[in-house]
Amino acid sequence: MYSTHSFHLPQLVLALGLSCGALVAHAQAVDVAAAEALLKENKCGKCHSVDKQKDGPSFKKTAAKHKGKADAESKLFTHLTTGPMVEIDGEKEEHKEIKAKDDAAVKNLIQYILSR
């Protein structure tokens, strides 16, 4: 009747609880103040908004587009750090590169965008 596995029920419950806790902690790890400061410093609000369409898509629309995709962070990181061409009102122009102190700041910004 007993399993030969080395995990007992209390250990399994503890392991699952810790795993879920780590996922929640990761989801809440966005430094909102730092992300919003980086948005302001880079004048992202000129073309983007959290929930309204401007010249660029809202962060809500961007988050919906990338929801559940494993490559969301890497695609957005490339977009924000390489100055790709974007189309605004039928005109092509270079998207500004995010100026940040390090990659961690850009990744925090990406998590902020994806969490909207």
How confident is the prediction along the chain (116 residues), in pLDDT tens digits per residue?
Answer: 544 555 455 554 445 454 444 444 445 589 999 999 999 999 999 999 999 999 999 999 999 999 999 999 999 999 999 999 999 889 999 999 999 999 999 999 999 999 99
Cα-only R_g, the chain: 19
Residue 22 lies in a domain: no
Q: What's at 93, amino acid-wise?
A: E
- Give me the pLDDT at residue 8, please: 56
Residue 83 lies in a domain: yes
What is the number of structural domains in the chain? 1
- Write out the residue range of the structural domain in which residue 107 sits: 31-114
Of residues 57, 89, 90, the one with CA closest to residue 76? 57
Instruction: Read off the DSSP letter of residue 49.
Output: -
Question: How far apart are the C-alpha atoms of 80 and 64, rounded to whole Å?
Answer: 18
pTM for the whole structure:
0.74
CATH number for the domain harbouring residue 54: 1.10.760.10
